[in-house]
Structure 1
Amino acid sequence: MKHNIIKTGILFITILTLIMAVLTIWILKDNREMNYRERIVDLNEIQELTTLAIKKGDSNTKEKLDKRIQLLQNELRNESVQRNSHKILIYIAIVYSVCLIFIFIIFIYIYYVVIRPFKRLEKYANEVASGNLDLPLQYERQNLFGAFTWAFDHMRKEVKKARACEKEAIENNKTVIATISHDIKTPIASIRAYSEGLLANMDTSAERRERYLSVIMNKCDEVSKLSNDLFLHSLSNLDKLVMNLEVCDAKKVITPILEQIIGENDNIVILNEVMDVKVRLDIRRFEQVLENVIGNSKKYASESRIEISFNLNNHQLECHIRDYGKGISEEDIPFLFEKFYRGKNIENKPGAGLGLYIVKYIMEQMDGSVDLNNYNSNGVEITLEIPMYESSLS
C-alpha cells in the first residue's frame, strides 16, 4: 500500500507539472499578444496626432518621426513583454509551489492517518493468524480508524477467550472420562468379586446369598447412574437433549417415581402427599432429577434421615428434599451447579461432579428451577420448582 501511495503521489505531481507548463505557455502567449495590441493602438493614436500636427511641415520631419515611433514601438513591446512574462512566471511558480506543498501535506496526512495504522493492523493480523493472541493492539479512539482498530482488538480478546474455553472444555472432558472410568472400576470389581463368590458356592445360607445379590444390584445401579450422567452430559454439550413435555397429574406421576426410588430405605420419609395439580414436564427426565437429588443425599448425608415434602407457592409445585448430614462448605455453594465441580465433603466417594449440573439443566429445560438451602452442619435442602399448568390455575 505504501508503494501504491508513492506512485499515486508521483502521478499527481507529474500531472500538475504538465498542467502548469501548458498554462504558462498559453498565458505568456496571450499576454504577449495583448500587450502588443495595446501598445500599437496607443502608438497609432500618437502617430495620427503627430501627422495632423505636422501636416503642413516637410516630409523629412515626418519620416524621422515615423522611424522614432517605430523604434519606440519595438522597445515598448520588448520591455512590456519581458516585464509581464517575469511577473507571470513568478505567479505561476508560487502557485506551483503551493500546490506541491498542499499535495505533500495531504500525502503526509494520509500516511499517518491511513497507511501507518493499516500497516500496524496488517502486522497485528499476521501475529494473530500465527496464534499469538496475547499481543495487545494499541489504538486511539479519536483516530479515523480507531473504532475499527478497537473492534479488531476486541475480536482478538474474544478469540482468545473462546480458545481458552475450548481448551478448558477439552480438559474437563478428559477429566470426566478419567473420573468415570475410575469410578466404574470400583463397582465392577465388587460385582465380579461377589459373582465369583456365588460361583464358588460361598453363599452357604439364604441370608448370605441375598446379601450378595443385593450388593451386586446396588453396584449395577451405581454403574448405570454413572453411564446416564455421562450420556446426559454429552447430550447437553451438543444441545441435543430432547424434552418430551406433557401435561400430567403431578400426584399420579411423582408418587410412583418416589416409591420406586425409595424402595426399602427406611431413612427416607415422605412428609405429605403430592398436591393434585396439573404440571407440564418430561416424566422420564424428572425421574432422573429425583434420582440424582435423592442419590446425592444418600451418598453424602451419611445415612441420615431424608425428608421429602411438597407445597404450592406462587403458581408452582415445590418439591423439598432435606437431609441432615454434614452440610456444604459455604465456599462450595456458588459452584455446586457447575459441571465437574465436587465439594470438599466428597470423602473419596465416587462421582464425576455432573449430578447437580444435570439437575439444573433438566429443570431449566422444563421451565422450572432448582434452589439450594444450606444448614451448615445440619444438612442441606434442595427445592425443585415446577410451574403449574395454566388450566389448573383457573
Structure 2
Amino acid sequence: MKQNKFTLRGLIILFMIGMTLITTVLMMFLFANFDIRINEHTTLIKNPYLWLAVFMVIVIVFFMILVLLINKYIFDPIFAMKRAAEHIKSGNLNYPIQYKADNEIGDFCNEFDKMRVRLRDTILEQHEIEKRRKRLIASITHDLRTPLTSIKGYVEAIQDGIVKDQETYEKYLSTIAEKADHLNHLIDDLSVYTKQELGEFTLNLERVNSGKILASYFDHKVDEFKYSNIDLILYKPFISTFINVDPYRFNQILENLIGNAKKYAHTKIEVRTKVVNYHLQIAIQDDGDGIPQDVLASIFDPFFMVNKVKDQKEKGGSGLGLAIVKQLTERHEGKITVESNVDEGTTFVLDFPLDI
C-alpha cells in the first residue's frame, strides 16, 4: 500500500502555519509576562518589545506573500503540467497546458506543450505511414500479380504447343516483353517510392543544358510514337538554358508524365517549354477526358486513381506514378502543377529553377 506523503505545496504551507503560530505564541508570551506599555519613561520608538512585535508581523506578512507568489508562479504551472501529463499518459494528446504566463516557468510550459504537439504529430504521422505501408503491400500484390499472370499464361501457351504459326508466336513474345517492361516499371516506381518514404533516396545532381537533355529524351520518344495512334507534337526548339538536375531522375519524371498522358490522350500530346521568372517550365498537354475538379487536388496522392477499377484494368496504373513525379520534382527544388477540364484534356507543368 502506498504511503501518504505531503506535497511540496503542503509542506510549505505547513511550515508557514507553524511559523505564524510560533510567532503568535511568542508575542502573547511577551505581552503576558512583560509589562509592555508606553509610559513617561519609555517612548514608542524606544520600546524593544514593540520593535520585536513589528518585526514578527513583517516576517509573517512576508512569508504569506512569498507563499502566494510560489503558489501562483510555481505550483499552478506544475499542476497544469501534471494534468497535461496525465492526459498524455491516457492517450489524449489534444489537451493543452493552460498556463501561459510571460516568464521562465511560462516558457517551460510552452516548450512542454510544443513537445506534446510534436508527439501528437509524430504519432499521427506514424499511423499514416502504417496505413500507406498496408496500402503499398496491397497495391504490390495486385499490380505484380496482373502482368505475372499474363506472362505465365502466354508462356504456358507456347510450352503447350498451342501456338502453331510464327506470327502468333512473335505476337506472344512481344506481349511477354511488354508485360515484363511493365513489371520493371512497377518495380522501379515502388523502389523510388519506398526509398523516398524511408529517407534513403539520393540525387546525383548535375548542371545540364535543358535543351539538350529534352531533345535527347524526346528524340527516342518520337520513334516510340510512330507506332501509336497518338501524335507527339513537340514545339521546338526547346528552351536552352541550364538547370541543376539528376539526368536519370529527370528523364524518369518525363517518362512518367508522357506515359500517363499517352494512356489518356485521344489523339495528341503537346510539349512546350518557356522561361518565367528565372524558372524553366515544361508543359505536357493531352486531349483526353480530363479530370473532375473535385478530385484534381488528390491526383498526386499515393495510390490515388480517378477510376481505380478502370485505371488498373485498362490502363495498367498503380497509382504511384504521379506521386513519384511530385516527389522527384520537389527533390529538385521544383514544383508541378496541373490544370484540367472534363472532355478537354489535362496539362501538367513542371517548374525548375534555373542554374545561372
1:371 to 337, 349, 352: 337
Deviation at 1:18, TM superposition (A): 11
Secondary structure of 1:180's counterpart equals helix
**Structure 2: runs of 5 or more not aligned:** 1-7
Residue number in structure 1 paired with 2:322: 356
1:384 corresponds to: 350
Partners of 1:228 and 1:97 lie apart in 2 by: 83
Task: Classify 1:20/1:229 alpha carbon distance in 2 versus 1 (closer, same or farther; 3 Å).
Answer: farther
1:179 paired to 2:145: no
Are 2:269 and 1:286 equivalent residues in the alignment? no
Q: Does 1:333 align with 2:303?
A: no
CA distance in 1, matches of 2:59, 2:351: 78
Deviations 1:329-380 (A, max 9, x none): 1011222223333334762424443211221222233344323221321111
Report what 1:265 is aligned to: 228
**1:186 partner amino acid:** T
| Letter aligned with residue 270 of structure 2 | I
For 1:297, the equivalent position in structure 2 comes to 261
Change (3 A) 1:276 1:171: closer
Q: Relative to structure 1, is the Cα distance of residues 283 and 103 closer, same or farther in structure 2, using a 3 angstrom cutoff?
A: closer
The AA in structure 1 aligned to 2:287 is: Y
What are the superposed Cα offsets for residues 304-349 of structure 1, whole Å, 9 maximum, x if unpaired? 2232323333355543322221100101122222333333476242
Q: Equivalent residue for 1:55?
A: none
1:275 aligned partner, one-letter code:
F
Cα 1:337–1:150 change in 2 (3 A) is: same
Q: Is the 8 A contact 2:272 2:283 kept in 1?
A: yes
Larger Rg: 1
Alpha-carbon distance change, 144 to 7 in structure 1, aligned in 2, over 3 angstroms: farther
Asked whether the 8 Å contact 2:292–2:341 carries over to 1, the reply is no
Task: Write the distance in 2 (CA, Å) between the matches of 1:248 and 1:121.
Answer: 55
1:66-87 Cα deviation digits (max 9, x unpaired) = xxxxxxxxxxxxx988999xx7
Question: Aligned pair in 2 of structure 1 residues 367, 252: CA closer, same or farther (>3 Å)?
Answer: same
Structure 1, unpaired ranges of 5+: 32-78
1:159-201, Cα deviation, whole Å (9 max, x unpaired)? 2122112211211121122112211111110010011111112
Residue pair 1:267, 1:306 contacting (<8 A) in 2 also: yes
Match in the other structure for 2:284: 321
Q: TM-score, structure 2 length as denominator?
A: 0.78
Q: Would you say the 8 A contact 2:300–2:322 is kept in 1?
A: yes
CA distance in 2, matches of 1:187, 1:176: 17
SS in 2 for 1:265: coil
Counterpart contact for 2:269–2:284, Cα < 8 Å: yes
- Aligned residue pairs, count: 337
- Distance in 2 (CA, whole Å) between partners of 1:213 and 1:158 is 55
Secondary structure of residue in 2 paired with 1:243:
coil
Contact 1:251 1:274 in 2 (8 A): yes
State the alpha-carbon separation in 1 of the partners of residues 213 and 15 from structure 2. Answer: 80
Q: CA RMSD in A?
A: 3.8
Give the fraction of aligned pairs with identical amino acids, expressed as a percent. 28
Task: Flag the 1:268–1:8 CA change in 2: closer, same or farther, 3 A.
Answer: farther
2:117 maps to a residue whose letter is K
Asked if 1 retains the 8 angstrom alpha-carbon contact of 2:230 and 2:262, the reply is no
1:1-394 → structure 2 map (5 Å cutoff): 1-6=8-13, 9=16, 89=49, 92-93=52-53, 95-141=55-101, 145-261=105-221, 263=224, 264-275=227-238, 277-280=240-243, 281-301=245-265, 304-314=266-276, 316-344=279-307, 347-349=310-312, 350-390=316-356
Q: Displacement, 1:284? A: 0.9
